[in-house]
Structures are given as C-alpha cells and as structure tokens.
Amino acid sequence: MEYFKICGGKKLSGQISVHGAKNSALPILASTLLIKGESVIHNCPDLSDVRVTLDILKSLGCKVKREKSTVLVDASVVDNNEISEHTMRTMRSSIIFLSALLSRQGSASIFYPGGCEIGTRPIDLHLKAFHDLGADVSVNGSSINACATSIIGTKIILPFPSVGTTENIIIASAISKGKTIIVNPAREPEISDLADFLNHCGAKIYGAGESTIVIDGVKRLDACEHTIIPDRILASTYMSLGAVCSKELTVKNIRQSHLSPVFPVFTEMGCKIYLSDNSLTLVSPKKLKRVRSIKTMPYPGFPTDSQSPVAVALALAKGTSILQETIFENRFRYVSELNRFGTDIEIKDNIAVINGVDKLHSANVNATDLRGGAALVVAALCANGESNIYGIEHIDRGYENLENALSSIGADIKRSKNEGETNAKASKKEIE
Ligand code: EPZ
C-alpha cells in the first residue's frame, strides 16, 4: 500500500498552482454522453475519480483520449446503459450517469452508490427528480433501473440545494421536451461550469448560480471545447497550508469570486490576502487568531469541503474556535486521527470545539476520506519530525500528484510503498 512519508516543521514558501476542479470535471465528463461527437475538455485534472469516470465512459462505448490536461471524449457511439455495482460503490458520484444515460439511451441500469466515510449519502432527491421528469424509476434492492421514452420538462422544487441532484436535473433536461424549472438549486460554481459547457454545446440553460434555474429543452447538442474552472477546494486547502506552514504563499490559477466564501475566515485568523488577476498571496501572522464560529453551508456559504484543512489552522490558533458542520453527518471522522498530532479538538454532535495549541508533533495516521486526508497532510507538514500517512488512495481522488505540488514549495514529502504496512496501526513506529 502507498503512504506519504513527511518530514514536517519546515517553513514553506513560493508559488503553487491549482488544477482543474474535480467536482466540475465529473459532471461535465458524464454529460459528454449527450453529444454525438468529440468533446474536448481542457484543464481536466488527472485524479483517480476522473480516471474512474473515463473508464465508465469507455465501458459505455465512448472513445477516450488524454493529452496532458486535455481529455477528448468521442461519444458518437454509445452501446451500453449499465454501470457495475462495484464501480458505483467505488465512486458514488457515478450517480451522475443516471441522467446522462437516460437522456442518451432512454434507459439506465445502475446501483445504489451507497454511503461513504462522511455520511449515508442518500439519493432520494435524485430519484424523485427523475420521476418528476417523467422517467419510470424502479428500485430493487441495490439495483436501480430507469427508463424514459422522453424527458418532459417540469417544475422541481428542491427541499435542499443538493449539488448532485441539481446536476442530474440539468443533464437530464438539457435535451428534452418543454421547460424545466429548478427552484432552490445548488449554486456552487461547478453548477455554472456544467451549464456553461452544455450551453457551449447548444443547450439553453439560464440562471445557473442563482436561486432559480430554467432549462429550455433542445433537440440535440453539438460537440465543443471547454476549459474546466480551477478547483476552489484545492485552493482553500493550499490557503490553510499557507496559514500554518509559511510566512507568504502564492496560490496561482484561482477564481477570486469562487473563494469569497472562505476569505473572511482567513482574514479573521489574521492572514492578509493580496489578490491579483488569477492568483492570491497569503501572508500569515506569527500566531493565528481563533475564529469565533464557522458554519458550513451550501454555496455561497463556507464550503463543507474546506472545513477539515481549515480545522488544522484553527488548531494552531490562539484561543478556541467553533466549527459547525451542517451538510454531512459524519464529516469530523478525521478528527480522531488529527488529534494524534497533538491537536485539541472535541466533537459534540456536529460541532467541533477547537482549542488552539502551540505546536504539533509527528504521528502515524490513517486518512479516512478525501478532505480529512488532506487535513492530515497539512498537520504532518506543520508537525516537527517524521510522520506517515496511510490510506492516501482517498487523497488521490481529489488532489493530483499532491507530493510533487507540495515539494515545489519546499515540503519534504515522499510517496512510499510498503506491502507490509497497510495502515498506521501496522507501522513499527510507536504511535504518539
Ligand atoms: C457534492 O456532493 C460534492 N461532490 C461534495 O464534494 C460536496 O461536499 C457536496 O456536493 C456539497 O457541496 C461532487 O461534486 C462529486 P449534495 P453531493 O447532494 O452532490 C443530502 C469532495 O470532497 N442529500 O449537495 O453528494 C446529503 O446526504 C466531495 O469533493 C439527500 O439527503 O452533495 C448531504 O447531507 C465530498 N438526498 C447533503 O444533501 C439526496 O438525494 C448534500 O449533498 C442528495 C443529497
């Protein structure tokens, strides 16, 4: 099993670049199924979740090619409408193919993606939306079969601005009869990026990023080229790292507006943020200040995906901070591993009480999920001494070549392989 070997305690500095957004690439790649031609997607990150998505497209009959950060998907021929249960459980966001297959093939056979480390991840809102759009959806155990002779536009009021559900409705109704109106949609930038891609292909999607989205169904879409937006969650992870491990760090390839929900937290911690066109420079104070209270919310609120790396910064701030998670029921699972580094974080229900400490010490830990794993990397880079982080397959889902990116700003981090040690418990080194 691979693991990260990190020698922490070094001051990092320089410039680090942000790659394309995972949570934009996945729905956009799935939606290329709607197009009988070759879509060209630039700035597509090379992540394990993206590779699974490209494998699904190939299994459905598409021709897929990657040229550096550009991916070409030719969906002229699609001759399959099934996705295996193993694949669905490997990457639960493959639920996004339900809309693409229904639209292209008129039917889809998939499976319940199942929960993951951060929550049960139900799909009730997705299934109800497909029903509202005129699809016949049957669930039998863990298998889901859906068919629709044609998708009929309708008004859908979402009780919660679910990102995946909003994306599934947009993809399902881009090619359809009539008009679909989504009330209370998710407003994340990734929704707007998906709408931009589909509109470049000839769709008529209005109001993405706002409180109501209107989709005038069209008959067909034509292939186009599209550049994926920068990954705002990766950028906020680098900002958290900069806040605790560097005096000054420049993060390149950002969209300022996408990061506006996190800027106030870093300025309240005492960081100075200097913005230029598509980059920011974060200057950190000698000692970070606590943040009285942070609550994760749907965009444009503070993102749930940014909370774990920010928790590391707060763990080294002066004073006590309160971090409330409102999106996922189990998103603090990383805290027990984080406390092995000497942080002092107590969890009560969905609230983390973070008591700042002076410094962290090395530890051997297991990553349990993608963003929690990133937080452990940040902690290991702050901690004096050598730490090992196991379970980095979680991290590889959303952070491309993280060790190379971090090495470019002076981090001492290596990807190692050791058949024997599969997790922190098996490692020889005494766990603190
Ligand atoms: C997307 O997940 C992202 N994943 C997540 O990022 C992100 O944390 C989340 O949106 C919130 O911003 C991708 O885009 C691939 P939701 P998604 O539907 O679509 C409940 C990462 O680290 N819900 O907005 O699954 C659900 O249980 C990942 O990059 C239902 O109850 O999020 C959760 O509590 C993690 N029924 C809340 O809504 C449903 O049918 C948010 O879910 C659907 C969702």
Is residue 201 a contact partner of residue 35, using CB atoms and an 8 Å limit? yes
Ligand 1 pocket, mutate which of 22, 120, 121, 371 (most atoms under 8 A from CB): 121
Residue 422 pLDDT:
60
State if residue 60 touches ligand 1 by the CB under 6 angstroms criterion. no
State if residue 165 touches ligand 1 by the CB under 6 angstroms criterion. yes
Is residue 273 a contact partner of residue 281, using CB atoms and an 8 Å limit? yes
> Helix or strand or coil: residue 362?
coil
How far is ligand 1, taken at its centre, from the CA of residue 123, in Å? 10
Helix axes 22-31, 97-105, angle to 10 degrees: 10
Residue 428 pLDDT:
46
State if residue 394 touches ligand 1 by the CB under 6 angstroms criterion. no
Residue 7: what residue type? C
* Three-class secondary structure assignment of 287-337: CCECCCEEEECCCCCECHHHHHHHHHHHHCCECEEEEECCCCCCCCCCHHH
- Give every CB contact of residue 7 below 8 A, 6+ residues apart in sequence: 385, 386, 412, 413
How far is ligand 1, taken at its centre, from the CA of residue 122, in Å? 9
Residue 119 pLDDT:
86
Question: Cα dist. 113→254, 284, 369, 430 in Å?
Answer: 31, 41, 16, 37
Catalytic pick among 7, 44, 62, 116 = 116
State if residue 252 touches ligand 1 by the CB under 6 angstroms criterion. no
Q: Which parts of the chain register pLDDT below 50?
A: 428-432
Tens digits of per-residue pLDDT, 339-387?
Answer: 999 999 999 999 999 999 999 999 999 999 999 999 999 999 999 999 9
Residue 378: what residue type? V
State if residue 192 touches ligand 1 by the CB under 6 angstroms criterion. no
State if residue 360 touches ligand 1 by the CB under 6 angstroms criterion. no
Helix axes 189-200, 22-31, angle to 10 degrees: 30
Is residue 12 a contact partner of residue 410, using CB atoms and an 8 Å limit? yes
For atom 28 of ligand 1, the residue with the nearest CA is: 305
- Which pair of structure tokens corresponds to residue 118? 């951060």
State the Cα–Cα distance between residues 305 and 309, nearest whole angstrom.
9
Task: Please spell the DSSP secondary structure of 21-66, one letter per residue.
Answer: -HHHHHHHHHHGGG-SSEEEEES----HHHHHHHHHHHHTT-EEEE
Residue 360 pLDDT:
97
Question: What's the burial of 127, exposed, middle or buried (CB within 10 Å: 0-12/13-18/19+)?
Answer: buried
Ligand 1 pocket, mutate which of 162, 168, 308 (most atoms under 8 A from CB): 162
Longest Cα separation, the chain: 64
State the Cα–Cα distance between residues 117 and 409, nearest whole angstrom.
31
- Please confirm whether the linkage preceding 300 is cis (ω < 30° from 0): yes
Is residue 107 a contact partner of residue 146, using CB atoms and an 8 Å limit? yes
Residue located via tokens 């909003």: 166
Closest atom of ligand 1 to CA, residue 49 = 15
State if residue 371 touches ligand 1 by the CB under 6 angstroms criterion. yes
Asked if 62 is an active-site residue, the reply is no
Question: Cα dist. 174→126, 129, 131, 135 in Å?
Answer: 16, 14, 16, 15
